[in-house]
C-alpha cells in the first residue's frame, strides 16, 4: 500500500483511491495533486467521525452540526468541516490535526488488514484497488503531508504488531465477561466504569486519556484471566447486585451464571454509542475461554428495584429496567448519540435506528414505548415509516413524534394523516424532549 500511495504522489494524482476487500470493508482515500486530503469508509466510519469531533471540537454541540449541511450532501463530513471553518468555529490547526489523525487511523486499519491477509488469518480475501480521477471535494480544507502521515501510521502499526497485538483490532469492543474476577483488584471500580461494552479500544483510550496501545496492553492481562473479552460489536452490559454480599457480578457472557431472582437484582447499563459495524479482521469473540453468548442463562425480572452500580461517584449510572424504552429513527449518528446520552442520564432506556429501510422491523423487535422519527431520510422518509408503524399491531398505539427542520402547516397536516402524534423542531432541545415524553408517557 505504501508503494501505491507513493506512486500516486509521484503522478500528482487528483481523485479517489478505493481499496476494497472481497466480503469485507471498503476504504477510500482522497488525493489532490498527490497529497492526501481526506478519508472515508472502513468498518467504523461513524464511530471514527464522532471520536474525532469530540477530540478536536469538544466545545461544539454535535446535534447542531447535522444542520449545517443537507443529509444528501456529497462528502458530508468534509462539508461539515468546511462549514465550521467558514463560520470560524474551528481553528485551521485543529482542522489539520483532525484530518491527519483520521487519515492515519484509516491507513493503520488498511495495514492491519493487509498483514492479516499475508499471514493467512483474513478470510475476506485479496484487497483490490481502483482509482477514479477527479472525484474529490470541491473545497480544499487542508493538504496533509503524505509522507508524514504515512510514516505515523506505519510506526503506530509496527508498535502494535511488536506488542503482540497483530490479531487484535483497535476497533474491537472490550466487554466484561466475568466481573467476579475483577473483585479485589485496586483498579476494579475504574475498569468497571470504563469498560461498558459500548466503546472500541480507541474510544476507551480517548475517554480515559490513555494511549490506546498502553490501555490495550493493560486489558490484555484481564483477557488472559477471562475477566474481559473482545467483541467486534457493542454488547449491552448487565450487572447483578447480590443482596447477600452487595457485590456486583456479571449477568451476561458468563457460562456459569445461575441467577436467583429472589436474591439478586438485575440492572442494565445503557450504551453511549449506537451499534458500529464489526471490523473485517476480527473474530466473533476474542477470548481464551470463549465462554460467551450463553443461551442457557436465565434472567427473570420480577424485582425492578433501582440500584446504583458500584462505580466512582462521577460515573454512576442509574438505570431502571422498568423505565420506558425510547426509540429514535434518524439517519444522523450525532442526533442519535446526543439523544442517547441525554435520555440515559435521565434514566430512560434508549435504542437508536439509523437505517430507514429496516426501521420498522427493528422497532418491532425492540418494542419501544415512545418513538422519535426523523422526517427527511434517504431511501424511506418519515411519512412512509410512520404509516407502516400505524399499520403494525404491536406499534399502532405507540406515540410517534416527528423530528424536522420543516415545521410548515402542510408538513403537519401530512404527518397527522399518516398517524404522527406530535412534532418537534430541529435542532432538538433537551427540555422540549422531556416535555414530549412527560406529555405522552405515564412515567
Q: Which residues pair with 16 in a beta bridge?
A: 30, 132
Cα(252)–Cα(292) distance, integer angstroms: 8
Cell digits of residue 410: 402542510
b or e along 201-238 (b: 16 or more beta carbons within 10 Å of the residue's beta carbon)? bbbbbbbbeeebbebbeebbebbeebbbbbbbbbbebb
Closest among 331, 325, 376, 330 to 351, alpha carbons compared = 325
pLDDT at 255: 37
- Classify domain 325-440 by CATH number: 3.40.50.2300
pLDDT at 301: 35
- Sequence-distant (6+) residues with CB within 8 A of 53 are 60, 62, 65, 98, 334
pLDDT at 351: 93
Indicate the pTM of the whole model.
0.58
Residues of the chain with CATH 3.40.50.2300: 325-440
pLDDT at 429: 86
pLDDT at 316: 38
Q: Residue 230 in 3-state DSSP?
A: strand
- Can you list the residues of the chain whose pLDDT is less than 70? 62-64, 66, 72, 120-125, 184-187, 236-322, 406-408, 442-443
Question: What value does the CA radius of gyration of the chain take, rounded to a whole number of Å?
Answer: 23
Query: What would the pLDDT profile of 87-103 be if each residue is shown by its tens digit?
Result: 888 999 999 999 999 99
Query: What would the pLDDT profile of 218-244 be if each residue is shown by its tens digit?
Result: 999 999 989 999 998 888 665 444 444
Query: What would the pLDDT profile of 118-151 be if each residue is shown by its tens digit?
Result: 776 555 457 889 999 998 998 999 989 899 999 9
Residue with cell 449510572: 317
Q: Which residues pair with 403 in a beta bridge?
A: 374, 424
Cα(311)–Cα(317) distance, integer angstroms: 8
CA angle 388-393-396, nearest 5°?
60
pLDDT at 238: 53
pLDDT at 275: 32
Write the CA distances from 127 to 25, 93, 284, integer angstroms.
9, 33, 21
Sheet holding 35-41, edge to edge: 35-41, 26-32, 15-21, 127-133
Cα(42)–Cα(388) distance, integer angstroms: 32
Amino acid at each position: 500500500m505504501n508503494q501505491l500511495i507513493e506512486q500516486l504522489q509521484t503522478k500528482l494524482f487528483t481523485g479517489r483511491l478505493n481499496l476494497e476487500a472481497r466480503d469485507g470493508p471498503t476504504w477510500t482515500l482522497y488525493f489532490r495533486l498527490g497529497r492526501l486530503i481526506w478519508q472515508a469508509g472502513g468498518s467504523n466510519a461513524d464511530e471514527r467521525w464522532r471520536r474525532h469531533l469530540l477530540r478536536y471540537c469538544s466545545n461544539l454541540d454535535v446535534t447542531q452540526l447535522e444542520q449545517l449541511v443537507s443529509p444528501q450532501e456529497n462528502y458530508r463530513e468534509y462539508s461539515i468541516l468546511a462549514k465550521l471553518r467558514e463560520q470560524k468555529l474551528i481553528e485551521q490547526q485543529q482542522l489539520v490535526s483532525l484530518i491527519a489523525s483520521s487519515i492515519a487511523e484509516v491507513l493503520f486499519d488498511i495495514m492491519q488488514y493487509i498483514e492479516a491477509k499475508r499471514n493467512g488469518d483474513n478470510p475476506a480475501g485479496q484487497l483490490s484497488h481502483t482509482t477514479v480521477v477527479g472525484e474529490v471535494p470541491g473545497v480544499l480544507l487542508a493538504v496533509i503531508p503524505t509522507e508524514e502521515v504515512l510514516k505515523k501510521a506505519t510506526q503506530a502499526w509496527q508498535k502494535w504488531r511488536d506488542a503482540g497485538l497483530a490479531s487484535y483490532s483497535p476497533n474491537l469492543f472490550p466487554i466484561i465477561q466475568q466481573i467476579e474476577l475483577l473483585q479485589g483488584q485496586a483498579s476494579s471500580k475504574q475498569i468497571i466504569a470504563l469498560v461498558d461494552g459500548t466503546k472500541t479500544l480507541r474510544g476507551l483510550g480517548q475517554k480515559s486519556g490513555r494511549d490506546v496501545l498502553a490501555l490495550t496492553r493493560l486489558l490484555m492481562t484481564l483477557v488472559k484471566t477471562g475477566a474481559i473479552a473482545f467483541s467486534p460489536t457493542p454488547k449491552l452490559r448487565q450487572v447483578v447486585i447480590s443482596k447477600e454480599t452487595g457485590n456486583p457480578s456479571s449477568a451476561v457472557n458468563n457460562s456459569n451464571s445461575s441467577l436467583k431472582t429472589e436474591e439478586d437484582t438485575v440492572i442494565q447499563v445503557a450504551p453511549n454509542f449506537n451499534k458500529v459495524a464489526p471490523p473485517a479482521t476480527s473474530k466473533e469473540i476474542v477470548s481464551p475461554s470463549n465462554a460467551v453468548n450463553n443461551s442457557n442463562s436465565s434472567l427473570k425480572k420480577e424485582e425492578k428495584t433501582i440500584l446504583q452500580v458500584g462505580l466512582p461517584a462521577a460515573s454512576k449510572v442509574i438505570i431502571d429496567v422498568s423505565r420506558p424504552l425510547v426509540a429514535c429513527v434518524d439517519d444522523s449518528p450525532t442526533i442519535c448519540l446526543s439523544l442517547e446520552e441525554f435520555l440515559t442520564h435521565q434514566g430512560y432506556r434508549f435504542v437508536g435506528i439509523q437505517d430507514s429501510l429496516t426501521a420498522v422491523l427493528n422497532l418491532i423487535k425492540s418494542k419501544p414505548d415512545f418513538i422519535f422519527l426523523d422526517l427527511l431520510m434517504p431511501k424511506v422518509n418519515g411519512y412512509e415509516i410512520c404509516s407502516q408503524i400505524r399499520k403494525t399491531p404491536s406499534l399502532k398505539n405507540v406515540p410517534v413524534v416527528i423530528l424536522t427542520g420543516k415545521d410548515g402547516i402542510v408538513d403537519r397536516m401530512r404527518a397527522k394523516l399518516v398517524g404522527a402524534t406530535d412534532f418537534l423542531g430541529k435542532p432538538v432541545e433537551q427540555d422540549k424532549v422531556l416535555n414530549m415524553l412527560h406529555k405522552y408517557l405515564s412515567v
